[in-house]
Homo-oligomer: A and B are copies of this chain.
Amino acid sequence: MSGETIKTARRVLEVLEHFDAVERPLSLKEISTRFDYPPSSTSVLLKTLMQLGYLDYDRYTRTYMPTMRIHGLGAWVKNSMFGTHIIALVDYVVESTGETVSIGTQSDLYMQYIHTVPSPHAIRLSIKPGTIRPLARSGLGWLILSSRSDEEVEQLVRRINAETPPEGRKTDLGELMEIIRQIRTDGYVMSQHTVTEGAGVIGMLIPERRHGRVLAIGVGGPVVRLTEKKEAILQILRSGFERFFERDCGDVHLGLNSRL
């Protein structure tokens, strides 16, 4: 499974995110040091971002600062991908459970968190939107797979194993199908310690696709807290669906006919 990314693409986004982290102008030196980029590479990259309109450069303080161009990006995604009702659902579940709530979808052969609202608790599961997890080895990944046909799952597992390097862990189809059958029966997933020791997720499929994508909602937090209030969380999710989705959603599985 290739994890290689284009170095410059990664750097562009690292730099822009770093400005978000510090929230002040930065010098070439500060960025170069922070990411261990060579100064000459950093200089060319920052000049490029200035030319493209994303940064401005003050010769007198010798610092770079983002322009407002960056701020406008992606404003449409929230409504287009989630609609006001899914956003309302997420906010409702955060308020009602007190935990971090995320929306996940299948992204290539991964499960990807495409939206996250963090818990107000100081002790919280911290998930950055965009984060990817193995599709066949994460709670929401299993949940999403449970919406696919057995044949599709088999095909995906074959693909995943084909792209796994020899030293990587292969996915056992039999074990995975067992997990998926259980999820289909329960109508939800609860996974503990699967990705992060001590952390878990309780999730359900969202009874609506967006842009052809299966979406899953997950409540994440320390396993101890999740275990204590598991039944409450499930009830909150169910009542959230009733409240924010118009149609009957007694059977939240989107069916074996996943190619819509």
Q: Which of A6, A11, A45 has the most CB of B within 10 A?
A: A6
A74 lies within 8 A of B132 (CB): no
Is A17 in contact with chain B by the CB < 8 A criterion? yes
| A211 proximity list for chain B (CB < 8 A) | 24-25, 58, 61, 63, 65
Is A100 in contact with chain B by the CB < 8 A criterion? no
> Which residues of A are at the interface with B, using a C-beta cutoff of 8 A?
3, 5-6, 8-13, 16-17, 19-20, 23-25, 44-45, 47-61, 63, 65-78, 80-81, 105-109, 112-116, 128-132, 211-213, 258-259
| A5 proximity list for chain B (CB < 8 A) | 47-48, 51-52
**A59 with B108, Cβ < 8 A, contacts A68-B130, A73-B70, A211-B24 known:** yes
A6 lies within 8 A of B45 (CB): yes
| A60 proximity list for chain B (CB < 8 A) | 212, 258-259
| A108 proximity list for chain B (CB < 8 A) | 47, 50, 57, 59
A20 lies within 8 A of B73 (CB): yes
A70 lies within 8 A of B66 (CB): no
A70 lies within 8 A of B77 (CB): yes
Out of B57, B78, B132, which one reaches A68, CB within 8 Å? Answer: B78
CA distance A75 to B222 in the complex (A): 29
A159 to B, closest residue via Cβ? B59
| A131 proximity list for chain B (CB < 8 A) | 53
B58 lies within 8 A of A212 (CB): yes
CA distance A258 to B258 in the complex (A): 64
CA distance A108 to B130 in the complex (A): 33
| A114 proximity list for chain B (CB < 8 A) | 56, 67-68
| A106 proximity list for chain B (CB < 8 A) | 58-59
